[in-house]
Amino acid sequence: MTYKDQMGREINITKPVKRIISLVPSQTELLVELGLLDKIVGVTKFCVHPENIRKEKVIVGGTKNINHQKIRELSPDIILCNKEENTKEIVEQLQKEYSVHVSDICSVPEAFVLIEQYGELFEKKKEANLLISKIKLENDMFNSFIKDVPLKKVAYFIWKDPWMVAGKGTFIDYMLKTAGFINVFSHADRYPEVDLKDLKTFQDLDLIMLSSEPFPFTDKHITELNNSSSNTKTILVDGEYFSWYGSRLAGAFSYFKTLHESL
């Protein structure tokens, strides 16, 4: 049977999928939520959910560097990638030998499309529909809460040396808006580098967010940032709720509510 991924690429599946390699942490978590743990044979070193996944499955590398020999030994029926997480070169190399599905997600509706595609690909339509319904319910409840909460202007940092923030065209930017925040860097493409002194040019910047990933910001970075650039309130946030799609979305909205209540 022929399927199309989120890049519009055709994927030919000639037999039921029994061996899956996931090269994207959030998609690995999604597969497990859909009841596909037993079919996963390979993951990346960044696939940290569920907790024991890297002990139970073969680690085939990272998201940007993979071990082709390990992949060949696993003989996968399909390999799951993402446009942003994995490089074009990785996808092009892998598709010469395997069926490769590539996701492309910058919004919650696009995340729903991925969940639906996995439901069809892996014969888990019921589980996929239930997950989507759960996420929509959580989103609706959060919208009832957030409608009376004043919007806060924020800068969302993902990296240091150089300091980098999330800009427009990213899933993080979409989730910031969904969570009731105004991204002051939504005018800039993707993940721009930032001079900390420039933060002072933003009037009424309410909050600086330091994400837990991909750079592991800690309390010491709050002190460093405040000493060098700004007196704006700075907090650590769980980056998985702002950047992971799939089943992580089911818990994102309760996290956002708790975050607002703590500010």
Residue spans of the domains in the chain: they are: 2-104, 149-262
Q: Do you find a cis peptide bond into 162, omega within 30 degrees of 0?
A: yes
Burial class (CB in 10 A: 0-12, 13-18, 19+), 185: buried
pLDDT tens by residue, the chain, 263 residues: 999 999 999 999 988 999 999 999 999 999 999 999 999 999 999 999 999 999 999 999 999 999 999 999 999 999 999 999 999 999 999 999 999 999 999 999 999 999 999 999 999 999 999 999 999 999 999 999 999 999 999 999 999 999 999 999 999 999 999 999 999 999 999 999 998 888 877 778 999 999 999 999 999 999 888 776 567 899 999 999 999 999 999 999 999 999 999 99
Taking domain 149-262, whether its CATH number is 3.40.50.1980 is answered by: yes
Give the pLDDT score at 144: 97
- Local structure of residue 61 (DSSP, 8 states): B
Residue 168 · residue 248 · CB < 8 Å? no
CA-nearest of 190, 24, 39, 203 to 111 is 24
Give the pLDDT score at 225: 82
Q: Which two tokens stand for residue 165?
A: 């923030």
Name the helix (H) or strand (E) containing 228: helix 219-228
CA 107 → CA 141, 156, 161, 186, 201, distances in Å? Answer: 18, 17, 28, 14, 29
Give the pLDDT score at 182: 97
Give the pLDDT score at 196: 87
Q: Do you find a cis peptide bond into 109, omega within 30 degrees of 0?
A: no
- Local structure of residue 91 (DSSP, 8 states): H
Quote the Cα angle for 144-183-201, to 5°. 140
CATH number given to 2-104: 3.40.50.1980
Strands (DSSP E) found in the chain = 2-4, 10-12, 20-22, 40-43, 58-59, 78-82, 100-103, 152-159, 164-165, 181-183, 207-211, 234-237
Give the pLDDT score at 228: 66
Give the pLDDT score at 230: 64
CA-nearest of 209, 210, 172 to 188 is 172
What's the alpha-carbon Rg for the chain, to the nearest Å? 19
Burial class (CB in 10 A: 0-12, 13-18, 19+), 160: middle
Give the pLDDT score at 226: 78
Give the pLDDT score at 198: 80
